Structures are given as C-alpha cells and as structure tokens.
Amino acid sequence: MPQSVNQEAGWGKPPSAWLSIARYGLALFFVATALLWSLLLFPFLSNSFIVLFLAGVIASGWFGGGGPGFLAVVISSLAVDYFFFPPIRNFGVSLETVPYFLTFLLSAVAANWLSTARKKADERQRAYLDELFEQAPEAIMLLDLQGRTVRINGEFSRMFGYQREEVVGKPGFDLIVPAELQAQAAASRERLMRGETVNRETTRARKDGSLLTVSELAVPITVGRQRVSDYLIYRDISESKKAAETLQQAQAELAHLSRVTTMGELVASIAHEVNQPIAAVVTNGSAALRWLAMQPPNLDEVRESLSGIVRDANRAGAVIGRIRALLKKNAPRMTPLDLNEMIRGVLALAESELRRGGVVLQTELARDLPPVEGDRVQLQQVILNLVMNSIDAMRTILDRPRELVIKSSNDSAEVLVEIRDNGTGLDAEHSERIFHPFFTTKPQGLGMGLSISRSIIEAHGGRLWNEPVSAPGADFRFTLPRTEGFA
Amino acid sequence: MSESPPTVFVIDDDASLRQALKSLIRSVGLRVELFGSADEFLKSKPPGAPGCLVLDVRLPGQSGLDFQKELAKTGIHIPVIFITAHGDIPMSVRAMKAGAIEFLTKPFRDQELLDAIQVALERDRAARQQLSEISGLRERFESLTAREKELLPLIVSGRLNKQIAADIGTSEITVKVHRASVMRKMRADSFADLVRIASRLGISLPPASTS
C-alpha cells in the first residue's frame, strides 16, 4: 500500500497525541471485546477466556505497539483476575490459582513482546526497502499495468522536477517524453508489454520543458508468468555525452590544425622545390639573351642555355606532379554524415569568432535531412571556411545588423547547404575568379580557401558556387549527393 | 703580378642552377668555376687566386653563413655574394655584417648578380693591390741593416740628427750617413715620403722624449 508507506515511514518519530490516544483506545477496545466474548462464552467454554485475552493482547501489540500492548496486558490481567479466577468478582487471588494467574500473565507479556517485535522487524524491513528505492542514485518510476504512476523516487523528482503528489496515480509513461519522440516511446511501450526489456539512450523532457540526454532502462516486473508492473529507470548522461562531443570536437579541430600545418609545410616545400628550377630557368634565359645580343651572336651558348631552360621547366613540372600524387594518396575517409550535425559542430567551433564579429546567426536546418557520404574533416573545413569568409566579409559593416543565415534542405537527389551573409559581397566580375587558386580579396588571405573548398566538394560529387544576390552580401551554396541506402 | 685572371667561384648544390650561372657569368667574359659544396671549393681552389665567391646560403653540410665565417678565420679574404631560395632579413643582416657584398633571393635578376660580381671583383683587385704594395714596402724594409731599422722610427719621428746621435750615443755624422742609406733603400723621394711608407708598414713611433 503505497499510501500507508508514508505513515509507516514516520513510525520512528514521536506520534501525534491523537494517534497515541487512538492506539491506546484500540488496546482498550481489543481487551473489552475479549472480555465481552469471554463473559458470553464463559457458561459454555469456561477456559476460552485465556485464548481470547491473549488474542486481544497480540492484536493490541500488533496494531497499537509496545505501550498499548503493555496496557492490554495489565487490563487483561486485572479483568481475568476479577472475572475468571476465583474468588470471582474480586481482585484477590487465592493461593492455588496463583500459578495459573502467573502463567497467564507471562503468556500475555510474551505474546505482547513477540507481537510488537515482529511488527517492528517488519516495519524496519519495509522502511529499509523504501529507503533503498528512495535513495537509489538513478531516477525510478514504477508504473502499474494501466501505465499509471505508482511511485517515483527522490532522484526522479530531482532529475525531472515532478513532485510525488503531482504524478502518482496519473498516466506516467508519456509524462517525460518530448513531443517529437512520442512514436519512439510508444514503440518501447509495446515491447515492454510483450515482456521485453528496453535499453536505450534518448532524450527526455523535464517539467519545465528543458531536455536532457538520458539512458533509459524499461523493465517489466513479472510474478510467475504474469507481468504485474513496469520499472522505468533513468540515468542522466548529458554530461558524459557533452564530454564525448567536446572530445570529438577537439579531435576534429586537431585534425583540422594538423591538415593546415601539413599544408603549410607542403607549401614551403613546394616553394623551395619549384623555386630552384625557376631560378635556373630565369638565369639561363638571361644568359641566352646576352649570348644572343653579342655581335656575332654565340648560338652554341644560346642553344645550351635554352636546353637548360627546357630541362628545368620539366623538372618544375615533375615536382608539381609529385605533389599531386602525394595529395591523391590522402584519400578522403568516407562515412555517412549528418550535415545538420556537422553544421552545428562547425558553428560551435566558430562560436567565439561569431561573437567577436557581432554576427546574428540564423539557422534553418531541414528536419529530415538524409545523410550524405563524405570525409568529416574535409567537409567541416569547407563549412568552416565559408562561415569564416562570411564573418570576415561582415567585419566592416556598420550600418546594418550583421546577419549570417545557414540553411540546409534537400530534394530527391541532393542535399543543399546555403551560407548567406549581408557583408561587403563580391564584385560581379569576381564571382568565378574567387575559386581560382591564389585569388584573394583579403589583405592577409592566401587565396586558397575557396579553391580548396571547391575541389573538396567536387571530389565528393557535389558542386560549390556563388549564387548571385540582389541584396548586399554573398550567398555561397554547395550540394552533395544524398546517400543511397541510408535515406 | 703574374697571376691568373679573376675567376668567379660558384658554390651551389643545384647542378642545373650552377650551369645556368656559369653560362650567364661567362656571357660577360668572366671565368667561372663551379663547386657543389664548400669542401669541394676548399680542396681545389688555389689559395691566392683572385676573384669572388657566389655562395648559396643553404648548402649541404655547413651553411653558407658558417662557411663565410670559416673563410675569414682561416685568412682567405675573398668577397662573397650570397644567393638563397628563401632569405629572411635577419639572415641577410648577418651576411652583410660579416662582409658579404650582396644578398640575392632566387630567382634574381641577371643584372643584379652581374653588378654584384663587378663590385666584388673590383674590391678583390683593390685589396690585392694594397696587399702587394705593402709586401713590396716590407721587402725594402727588410733590406735595411739592424742599425738602420733601429734608426728608422727615430728618423720619421722628426728628431734632428744631433738629437738622434745623442739618443743612441754616436756622432752626428754617422747618423747622417745612416739616414741617407735608409732614404735610398726605402726609395723615399723625400722625408715626407719616408714618413708615409713607415706609416703604411705600421712602424710605430717611439715615445717622444725631447730633451
């Protein structure tokens, strides 16, 4: 009886005056009943009073406790002495009935002690189990077969913000399920009804509507073969989830950095490797011109210089070819990706930049975006590059709010991502040149970002372009083919 | 001065750039010798050959800058022109401070290099001329007798024959004979000329002890 739990749990505390009076009254009532029946039965069963009074003492001790039980012993002894032991109707005790009376008295005391001790042990056991439930470190909700809440524990109240009185007796199964997950919850309820245990990581809502990531364990409780009740047990894993996400982010950042570093080293090495033959070409070219300018021109020397030029130009070409081959070796690692999640990840990375740039961010991410297949780090680089470009383009804007809009959408074949800002925008004649290597409009720019981004997107089977806009700003879009078999 | 014509010594580890430099430098009528490393150069170069050095900063083994230092230490005085694929300012400052003629970044304009070579050769020629002049003067000085060598500082310090005679305890006439002999052997046209020669030889004047 759940309702009685609270009263019983309060047993150890000083009982209220009324409750004490009631318990002692109860003892008087039991003894009085025993007396009444003893008197009624006395003519037929002269010794039945012993059993009846002992029963009265046991009942008083059980229901009333030690004090009332003791009272029952005293009154019963007096009543027995007065009414049933000779001399009858007299409190005096004749010598030969003393052993009988003492036997009765000891029996009554023993019965009372046994009764109250048993009761106390029972209560202690119960209180112990209650505390176990109450103090369990996980949030627990106990449901009856109709899905109504029977009990919740303290952790449940703390985790979800509901008080016991608010939920007990009311449908509990859907109470903390966010609207968008009702279908999933209904499915797990069905499995529960079939007697299965459901264990998953999911999202649940607090009373105030805020969401938290939990691990949910739904367990049917069966007695014999019969399901009698369901346990729902929750553990808050928001923190560990967040830690895992942070770790993943850090890893992505690291991968990004190491790529950038590799790129920097690569560029330095290209510069040196290509610079040598170019220096030779320039020198040979100058020498050839000088030999040619002589009177008469020294054609043998010219020929030698020119063949040197050809040789060194080929050498420079070979260097480039080697670098190409090297880049190809770094084949992208293709995995199915949720672009929305990646966009959110990149925005998290760029958060401080967005804040510093005073940018108002607006995301319109399609809810049912199919996955795409791609290299996480490469695509992150593309999105980050476009976002950073937008932030840079809006730095000098002072007359209007700086707005960055990021949209994702899809049609039957492709997923489209749009990154639009209201920054300085691009000159019409630059709209294609910006994708050329080493073209930049930024004083510190290398002019590689968009060129690399485009080659990444094209390697993924998509397109990256600059959509003409009428309003001030720029609108970059890229598509990626949606993945077959995942949609 | 019966020495070989001035030569441009090129030290660069890139063979084809070496060849190109050779062609370019030869086109203005200069002699060129090529080396792949500093060691190669040290092994084959006649120590006294006139010319200049075109040196890559980034050499296999020791760097061009270290090599420049080493040359100076071992007393080989040859003007150096640095060429480099990626020169930064601190590097070029170091090179110039150590006495480099020029610090050129590849690819450089031909005229820049040729101008630098001209400057370097000119400097080398002047240095050599000075060196040979001094060695001529030193020869003359060595032809003096011990007594004359002793008298030379006193003479150029401007002391009178009489005073010098008193200094070294001899007669005025003897000093007069010695002075004439010194003037002749040092091929000095005048007293002023003798003073100039002495100063070029670094002959220090004795502490003036006028009586």
CA–CA gap between residue A179 and residue A119 (Å, rounded): 47
Query: B-side interface with A, Cβ within 8 Å?
Result: 14, 16-17, 19-21, 23-24, 26-28, 85-86, 106-110
What is the CA B49 to chain-centroid distance, rounded?
12
Q: What is the pLDDT of residue A255?
A: 64
A283 close contact with B: CB closer than 8 A: yes
Fold of B143-200: Arc Repressor Mutant, subunit A (1.10.10)
Residue A34 pLDDT exceeds 80: yes
Three-class DSSP category at A461:
coil
Enumerate the residues of chain A whose CB falls inside 8 A of the CB of residue B23. 283-284, 287-288, 291, 301, 304-305, 308
Could you check whether B7-137 and B143-200 share the same CATH topology? no
Whether residues B27 and A283 touch (CB distance < 8 A) is answered with no
Alpha-carbon dihedral of residues A112, A118, A124, A125, nearest 10 degrees?
-170
A272 close contact with B: CB closer than 8 A: yes
Whether residues B21 and A276 touch (CB distance < 8 A) is answered with no
A305 close contact with B: CB closer than 8 A: yes
CA–CA gap between residue A420 and residue A431 (Å, rounded): 14
Enumerate the residues of chain A whose CB falls inside 8 A of the CB of residue B20. 279-281, 283-284, 287, 305, 308, 312
Out of B26, B86, B107, the one facing A272 most closely (by C-beta) is B86
Phi, psi (deg, nearest 5) at residue A483: -80, 130
- The H or E element spanning position A457 is helix A449-459
Average pLDDT of every residue of chain A = 83
Residue A329 pLDDT exceeds 50: yes
Does the ipTM exceed 0.90?
A: no
Phi, psi (deg, nearest 5) at residue A87: -75, 130
Out of B28, B86, B107, the one facing A282 most closely (by C-beta) is B107
State whether the Cα torsion A203-A215-A244-A248 is positive or negative.
Answer: negative
Whether residues A281 and B26 touch (CB distance < 8 A) is answered with no
Domain coordinates of chain B in residue numbers? 7-137, 143-200
Residue of B nearest to A294 (CA): B27
Phi, psi (deg, nearest 5) at residue B30: -105, 155
Alpha-carbon dihedral of residues A45, A46, A47, A49, nearest 10 degrees?
90
Three-class DSSP category at A463:
strand
Phi, psi (deg, nearest 5) at residue A327: -65, -35
Give the DSSP letter of residue A483.
P
Residue B207 pLDDT exceeds 60: no
Enumerate the residues of chain B whose CB falls inside 8 A of the CB of residue A290. 24, 27-28, 110
> Does 3.40.50.2300 match the CATH number of domain B7-137?
yes
* Shortest distance, CA B37 to any CA of chain A (angstroms): 16
The stretch B2-23 carries a mean pLDDT of 85
Query: How large a percentage of chain A has pLDDT more than 90?
Result: 18
For the CA atoms of chain B, what is the radius of gyration? 24
Residue B109 pLDDT exceeds 50: yes
Name A340's bridge partners. none
Question: Which of A325, A314, A312 has the alpha carbon at shortest distance from A266?
Answer: A325
Secondary structure of chain B in HEC code, one letter for each residue: CCCCCCEEEEECCCHHHHHHHHHHHHCCCCEEEEECCHHHHHHHCCCCCCEEEEEECCCCCCCHHHHHHHHHHCCCCCCEEEEECCCCHHHHHHHHHCCCCEEEECCCCHHHHHHHHHHHHHHHHHHHHHHHHHHHHHHHHHCCCHHHHHHHHHHHCCCCHHHHHHHHCCCHHHHHHHHHHHHHHCCCCCHHHHHHHHHHCCCCCCCCCCC
Ranges of H-type helices in A10-146: 17-41, 48-59, 66-83, 98-134
Q: What is the pLDDT of residue A5?
A: 41
Going along chain A from its start, the domains and CATH numbers come out as 2-134 (no CATH), 139-236 (3.30.450.20), 240-329 (1.10.287.130), 335-481 (3.30.565.10)
8 Å CB contact between B25 and B9? no
The stretch A253-281 carries a mean pLDDT of 73
For the CA atoms of chain A, what is the radius of gyration? 44
Residue B166 pLDDT exceeds 80: yes
In order of A195, A219, A222, the CA distances from A225 in angstroms are 10, 14, 6
8 Å CB contact between A433 and A418? no
Q: What is the pLDDT of residue A54?
A: 86
Q: Cis bond leading into A87, ω under 30°?
A: yes
Query: Which band of pLDDT confidence, cut at 50, 70 and 90, is reported for residue A11?
Result: very low
Three-class DSSP category at A214:
strand
Query: Please, how many CA atoms are within 13 Å of residue A167, restricted to the half-sphere of its CB?
Result: 25
Residue A417 pLDDT exceeds 90: yes
Among A184-193, A211-220, A441-450, B89-98, whose mean pLDDT is lowest? Answer: A441-450
Q: What is the pLDDT of residue A254?
A: 65
Residue A13 pLDDT exceeds 60: no
pLDDT in tens, A102-151: 888 888 888 888 888 888 898 899 999 888 888 888 899 998 888 889 89
Q: What is the DSSP string of A343-379?
A: HHHHHHHTHHHHHHTTEEEEEEE-TTPPPEEE-HHHH
Whether residues A290 and B86 touch (CB distance < 8 A) is answered with no
Out of B27, B85, B109, the one facing A287 most closely (by C-beta) is B27
Q: What is the pLDDT of residue A17?
A: 82
